Amino acid sequence: MDTVFYTLQDFMTHSKGITYLVMAGILIALPLFWCFITDRDEKKRTY
Amino acid sequence: MSEETTLTDKKIFTPFNIICGIIIVVGLILTILRFTKGLGAVTNLDHNNPWGIWIGFDLLCGVALAAGGFVTSAACYIFGLKRFHSAVRPAILTAFLGYAMVVLALNYDVGRPWRLPYPIFYSQGTTSLLFEVGLCVFLYISVLFVEYSPAALEWLGFKKIRNLIVRMTLVLTIFGVILSTLHQSSLGALFMIAPSKLHPLWYSEYLPIYFFISSIFAGLSMVIFEGSLAHRFLHHKMDETHLAESTGVALGFAKAASFLMMGYAGIKLIGIAIDNHWHYLATSWGQWYLLEIIGFVMLPAYLYALAAREKNLILARWASVVAVLGIVLNRLNISVIAFNWNLPSAQRYFPSWMEIATSIFIITIGVVAYRFIATYMPILYKHPDYQEHQ
Amino acid sequence: MGITRRKFLGWMGAAIGATTISGQKTQAATTKQFEGHPGSGGVLHDITRCIGCRKCEEACNKVNQLPAPEKPFDDLTMLDNVRRTDDKTYTVVNRFPNDSGTSPVYVKKQCNHCLEPACASACFVKALKKHKTGAVVYDASLCVGCRYCMVACPFNIPAYEYNSAFSPRIMKCTMCQPRLEKGLLPGCVESCPKEALTFGTRKQLLKIAKQRIQKYPKRYIDHVYGEYEMGGTGWLYLTGTSFAQIGMREDLGNISAPQLTAGPLSDVPIVVGLWPVLLTGIYAISRRKEKIAKEEQNEAVAATLSAANEEMEKKLAELKDKMEQQKEAAINLEIKKALKEAADQAKEDDGNAPADGPKEEK
């Protein structure tokens, strides 16, 4: 984080950009983690 | 299914086809005009009024009214309301076509439509709510396409892919609800950047919440409304399950929409209270605002309630018409009517007939596509090969 | 019912959590102070000095190679109407009647080069940017033509080439960014014969403006327009006439455009983070409810089945009993009959038998 931001606009462009990447990560990670949680449950139809 | 009968007594020059044909011819001429002469040749847009009905109606109303897809699939697959199952496919199809029409309209409205992928793939303006909307609409239209595809795959007979997609229903549904929450609310938040232009009665820090909540009952109403149209024109395409469940769907949705709309009227009131905008209610803009809230939110909510209490399907359908008109009124108020309210009347925007005709053209394409798909693909009935649970 | 209540409470909790968390985030973003690019430039427009000669308009048109106007720039009848910037004009001078009824007031209008530009905040392809010189610049090679910047701009500055079919651009003042890079003054500033326009760093200009107000308190209204408006603008204005009189809005507020949308923007990731959890939770609960309902149903069916069996057996047993009783009774009756017959016969045969007959029955 050595970038200096002089305007809120620049700061937000940067931080929101990273946030969007984090969001993508979360969207991939959560379903996988749910699969991990329910892995040992009895096998049932998940639609 | 009585497919044979419809195929044999098919005529080309039905009133429906003739009207559609005229609209499409006019639309194509306007399309050529738009793409060879520019926006100025077709629209009444100007430097003060950059957004007209192609945004206010085609985009904002289109997206809100296509919310039936995520609402119905969420009710059925996430909340476990299985009795709405037969309503899911038509709702998904309407949503998919709705979003397709929105994207089509956007191609007319933006100056360089061939650059529409830019915000997602080339230069991301992450501080813009329009970026958020664009990204979500792009992802959601893909999700809707996948959600809709089993119908097409059954029609074409691709069993394996169809079964694979059906297994992903839950993930797709959840993803669809997330994306819908985001872009429905962000469409409202688009206007939060312009407090000096939107009338204070409509400008609120709750705009994103208002847009999200109203999109839910817009979707519910649209399912009821579209159901009544389908019953009128595509009755012969419906199987027994669909026919048996449809009244329950309409009345169940009417009940849900009714309560939600009253809640919405409540939070609109909270918005006025928190900004202390009561005095605006006494102005002529206030009357207009009250007409929207009382005439097009609370009245249909009350009609829905009566319909649900008395199990009156016809009343529910009429209420859905009023509710849908209310959504259109609300979106137009925010994007066109109460936007730039402080400009002198000579500088205000009113759509040209060509803008209106283009909007009608785009809707017509959607209706024709729906009719084609619902006629040939298993939308209103279950495919005989896939009668089991799904 | 218990599950529905639990479900409801869960939603409430999540909703409250979402709003508080996002609220804090918004604040964190907005309490951080951004001072703008160091040494970024601007222009001070002293409205009291402007004589409405339109030399600035002419210079602007020339240096930016804009199409020639219909009427020449020395035609001052153009001032009869209040104009705005358009796709062929980056700047306009407007005439307003003075408060006191004396000589009219002339006000130049162009892009104010906001410190936190609404147009840049609204642009979804970063075609508009705040340059370190202070200019808000536009890159037509990125622009999609959505015109959201025009919706966002509180000063109604950006214009659009509506009549271009293939390469419509947003048109607006660039503060002569190409000239600034060469060390030249903006065209309008250079051409002004009355020094109504002063170019400098914004900090300097603020000082000059305040000095002028202090020196001539009667000449100026004690407010530098643009110091705080919409989070501050690169162009600053001094006037002796009320701002309302000269078409400059005083109700824009001091909140910058990025701050206006920071709230909803920071709600987005929270929805992405929480919705999957919530929705999967609701799904799991409804599945579980379904499963329990099914189990209960199965149990109930089993229970009724066994109950029915028992009853059936009981009924059967009863029936058996009854039948047996009936059988017995029938046999007894037969026996009785037979005995009676026998007794009667015996009676007929001999007279001492009647005392024994009824005793046999018991």
pLDDT single digits (tens) C82-102: 999 999 999 999 999 886 767
Tally of CA atoms within 13 A in the half-sphere of C73 that contains its CB: 17
Contacts of C272 in chain A (CB under 8 A): 23, 26-27
pLDDT in tens, C243-286: 988 989 999 989 999 999 999 999 999 999 999 999 999 999 99
**Separation CA B68–CA B184 (nearest Å):** 12
Q: Give the chain A residue whose CA is nearest to the CA of B165.
A: A47
> Please, which residues bridge with residue B198 across strands?
B339
CA distance A39 to chain B (A): 16
**Separation CA B377–CA B335 (nearest Å):** 37
pLDDT in tens, C95-138: 998 867 678 999 999 999 999 999 999 999 999 999 989 999 99
Residues in chain B: 390
- Res. C2 pLDDT band, cuts 50 70 90: very low
Contacts of C253 in chain B (CB under 8 A): 195-196
In chain C, positions 96-125, which contact chain B (CB-CB < 8 Å)? Answer: 118, 120-125
Contacts of B39 in chain C (CB under 8 A): 162-163, 168
Collapse the DSSP code of C199 into the 3-class scheme (helix H, G, I; strand E, B; otherwise coil) and give the result: strand
- Whether C130 contacts C174, CB under 8 Å: no
Task: Tell me what pLDDT residue C276 has.
Answer: 92
pLDDT in tens, B111-159: 999 999 999 999 999 999 999 999 999 999 999 999 989 888 988 888 8
Task: State which CATH number among 3.30.70.20, 3.40.640.10, 3.40.50.1700, 1.10.443.10 fits the domain covering C34-255.
Answer: 3.30.70.20
- Whether C210 contacts C224, CB under 8 Å: yes
Q: Minimum mean pLDDT among B173-182, B262-271, B370-379, C333-342: which range?
A: C333-342
What does the DSSP assignment read for B76-90?
IIIS--GGGHHHHHH
Decide if pLDDT at C23 tops 60. no
CA distance A23 to chain C (A): 6
Contacts of B197 in chain C (CB under 8 A): 151, 154
Instruction: Provide the CA C214 distance to its chain's centre, in angstroms.
Output: 44
Residue C197 has φ and ψ, to the nearest 5°, of -120, 130
pLDDT in tens, C151-160: 999 999 999 9
Q: Give the chain C residue whose CA is nearest to the CA of B118.
A: C125
Contacts of C276 in chain B (CB under 8 A): 174, 178
Residue A38 has φ and ψ, to the nearest 5°, of -95, 10
Q: Across the interface, do B111 and C160 touch by the CB < 8 Å criterion? A: yes
Task: Tell me what pLDDT residue B387 has.
Answer: 65
Question: Does B121 reach chain C within 8 Å, measured CB to CB?
Answer: no
Structure tokens at B209: 């919440």
Among candidates A6, A15, A34 on the partner chain, residue whose Cβ is nearest the Cβ of C34: A6
pLDDT in tens, C208-245: 999 999 999 999 999 999 999 999 999 999 998 889 88
pLDDT in tens, B227-286: 888 888 888 888 888 888 888 889 999 999 999 999 999 999 999 999 999 999 999 999
Among candidates A17, A20, A47 on the partner chain, residue whose Cβ is nearest the Cβ of B170: A47
Q: Where are the domains of chain B?
A: 3-382
Question: End-to-end CA distance of chain A, in Å?
Answer: 45
Q: Across the interface, do A34 and C120 touch by the CB < 8 Å criterion? A: no
Instruction: Provide the CA C215 distance to its chain's centre, in angstroms.
Output: 47
- Please name the CATH architecture into which domain B3-382 falls: Up-down Bundle (1.20)
CA distance B382 to chain C (A): 24
Q: Across the interface, do C256 and A8 touch by the CB < 8 Å criterion? A: yes
In chain A, positions 1-47, which contact chain C (CB-CB < 8 Å)? Answer: 5-13, 15-16, 19-20, 22-23, 26-27, 30-31, 34
Q: Across the interface, do C29 and A8 touch by the CB < 8 Å criterion? A: yes
Task: Tell me what pLDDT residue C20 has.
Answer: 46
Q: Across the interface, do B77 and A17 touch by the CB < 8 Å criterion? A: no
- Whether B338 contacts B201, CB under 8 Å: yes
